[in-house]
Amino acid sequence: MQQNNSQSHTQNKIQNVVIVGGGTAGWMTASLLAKTLGKALNITLVESDKIGIVGVGEATIPPIVNFNSAIGIDEKAFIKETQGTIKLGIEFNNWHQEGDSYMHAFGNIGKKFPFCDFHHFWLRAQLDKNASNQSIDSTNIDSTNISSKSFWDFSLNYQAAKQHKFAPIRNIPNTNLPGLAHAYHFDAGLYAKFLSKHAIGMGVKRIEGTITQVNQHNESGFIESVLLENDRCIKGDLFIDCSGLAALLIEKTLSTGYEDYSHWLPCDRAIAVPCEKVEPIEPYTRSTAHKVGWQWRIPLQHRTGNGLVYSSKHMSDDEAKELLLNNIDGKPLAEPRVIPFKTGRRRKQWHKNVIAIGLSSGFFEPLESTNIHLIQTAAIRLMKFFPHNGIQQEEVDEFNRQSKVELEGIRDFIILHYKLNNRGDSEFWRACQRMEIPESLLNKIELFKKTGKVFCKPDDLFTEIAWQQVMIGQGNIPDDHHPLVDTLTKEQLTDLMASLKTLINGTVNKLPSHDEFLQSLK
């Protein structure tokens, strides 16, 4: 009898959606639901003015451009309202060893070829160059002697970023080579406010209040309503938990469980502080490794966002605060704020009639700007799997399977940065070098080292080009290249490289500055 009652409960038509929590997660989800299913649903968002948002996620990756467009946001208005700037990539300083620098630049590198990627051609060109210098055959050149720096000579995004240039160009003029791929830096609090106006304008109902009680169905355990401190009861058929690290519904109520990644990603605290802006405004994020952990720098129009991600086992909060304040560009605009976290993921992102989106579903340190992106992909996945006449377990299981695969791919990519460090200045970094890593990641690293090849699944967030940049940037230079490269003569390869560099440099030279682009939006 209990099974039948539970089954009937899952077969109610989904009409009333309650989003618990605002912030970036709540309002991104509300906006997408309202834009796509607003006429068929009653969407209510409950948030408390007393509860602040974490708001450290001020950097994004290129898919947000399409997301904003899909929910009907004008880019010019968005950048203006959020004090936004353009982001062309992430520069990693001191990650391989102190003094080293490379960039995970967005967009393409070089030219796409059938069957093998551009970096194989670059690798062969480097071998030829070394062979010419040493007057020996290139097959005898040790790959460890190759300098990786010239790889980014063939990245339009890198060259534009380092010269503080930007304009929205779809292609390199007079070619079919892709133009600039961009994302944004923005003030997360202002983005949430901007989205809230947008979503409310599309029919989302906002209720201010603090939740004091969560009511569940006696037999199924499904959540039926939430009670506010003024005794107002908000009922719903489907609940979206956007309550951040509190995880009010998915964990505190449903006890879904958490898969801890901290044995691979040892940082468990962040300390954040804004400072006065510095000009010119760089169109890229900076990630600088320190003796313990790393520091982010995110330039906005009105200020610069800064933070230090570190391990409390290796550094105290006071030491972290001192290190951060000694390494920012301008005068601090607030007291540094400590944010404890545990890297990992909720065992089920969808459990019963609750879907966790944002920090309630798990946490990754902001090394590759993935947290806002994961809000976006979870909201899109919700749309693809949106239950119609009740919640079907098969649908829930597939939703959770896809979430797990996505998060494990991102997990591996972030671990990669730590594992491939070559620093010897602290036990923190030495422990990262020694640690056992997931087999999926180990296979990728070894395959790339031996063959130069890297393969990703179609739905992976980080593409082959992203993996190539981090591995080459952190010293994992392949021992071999694809045989297709050897069908070119040395002269043909030299001409190819020279023409690509000429095209990229010529394009960047004609671009306006990033500051000029921002001024043109006002």
Output phi, psi for 48, to 5 deg.
-110, 130
Cis (ω within 30 of 0) for the bond into 280? yes
> Which residues make beta-bridge pairs with 304?
275, 299
Task: Give the model's pLDDT for residue 11.
Answer: 57
Asked whether the predicted pLDDT for residue 238 surpasses 60, the reply is yes
CA distance 286 to 295: 8
> Which residues make beta-bridge pairs with 185?
59, 85
Helices (H) and strands (E) in the chain, counts: 15, 21
Asked whether the predicted pLDDT for residue 3 surpasses 60, the reply is no
Q: Is the pTM of this model over 0.75?
A: yes
376: Cβ–Cβ under 8 A, 6 or more apart, which residues?
28, 63, 64, 67
Domain ranges of the chain: 2-15+31-55+187-230+242-262+342-409, 89-181+438-514, 269-340
Percent of the chain with pLDDT over 90: 88
> pLDDT-derived band of residue 133, with 50, 70 and 90 as boundaries?
low
Output phi, psi for 228, to 5 deg.
-90, 165
Average pLDDT over residues 4-18: 68
The token pair at 290 is 């320190």
Q: Residue 185: name the closest of 79, 74, 320 by CA.
A: 79
Task: Give the model's pLDDT for residue 434.
Answer: 97
Token pair 């990229």 in the structure block, residue: 504
Average pLDDT over residues 308-327: 97
CA distance 470 to 417: 7
Contact predicate 217/224, CB 8 Å: yes
Average pLDDT over residues 155-176: 96
Length of the chain: 522
> Which residues make beta-bridge pairs with 86?
184
Degrees, nearest 5: CA angle 227-228-229: 125
Q: Which CATH number is correct for 2-15+31-55+187-230+242-262+342-409, 3.90.1150.10, 3.30.70.2660, 3.50.50.60, 2.40.10.10?
A: 3.50.50.60
Torsion angle (degrees, nearest 10) of CA 276, 280, 286, 289: -70
CA distance 158 to 109: 9
CA distances from 229 to 50, 145, 206, 232 (A): 12, 66, 16, 7
H/E run at residue 517: helix 514-520
**Which residue among 50, 76, 87, 313 is the active-site one?**
87
Q: Residue 159: name the closest of 63, 86, 84, 89 by CA.
A: 89
CA distance 240 to 350: 9
Asked whether the predicted pLDDT for residue 136 surpasses 50, the reply is no
Instruction: Average the pLDDT over each of 128-132, 203-207, 233-237, 344-348 and give the range with the smallest value.
Output: 128-132
Give the pLDDT confidence of 392-440 residue by residue, as tens digits.
999 999 999 999 999 999 999 999 999 999 999 999 999 999 999 999 9
Task: Give the model's pLDDT for residue 458.
Answer: 85
The token pair at 327 is 């390494």
CA distance 177 to 192: 35
Token pair 């001409």 in the structure block, residue: 495
The token pair at 397 is 């299981």
Sheet holding 294-299, edge to edge: 101-105, 89-93, 285-289, 294-299, 304-310, 269-275, 337-340
Give the pLDDT confidence of 338-362 residue by residue, as tens digits.
999 999 999 999 999 999 999 999 9
> Which residues make beta-bridge pairs with 394?
none
The token pair at 495 is 């001409």
Q: Is 335 helix (H, G, I), strand (E, B) or coil?
A: coil
Q: Is 272 helix (H, G, I), strand (E, B) or coil?
A: strand
User: Active-site residue 342, yes or no?
Assistant: no
Contact predicate 366/57, CB 8 Å: yes
Task: Give the model's pLDDT for residue 60.
Answer: 94
Task: Give the model's pLDDT for residue 50.
Answer: 77
DSSP 457-500: -TT-SS-HHHHHHHHHHTT---S---GGGGGS-HHHHHHHHHHH
Q: Residue 284: name the closest of 442, 412, 477, 101 by CA.
A: 101
Contact predicate 371/256, CB 8 Å: no
Average pLDDT over residues 439-459: 95
Exposure string over 474-495, b if 16+ CB within 10 A, otherwise e: bbbbbeebbeebeeeeeeebee
Contact predicate 72/192, CB 8 Å: no
CA distances from 36 to 192, 377, 382, 418, 437 (A): 19, 15, 11, 40, 40
Token pair 């339009």 in the structure block, residue: 156
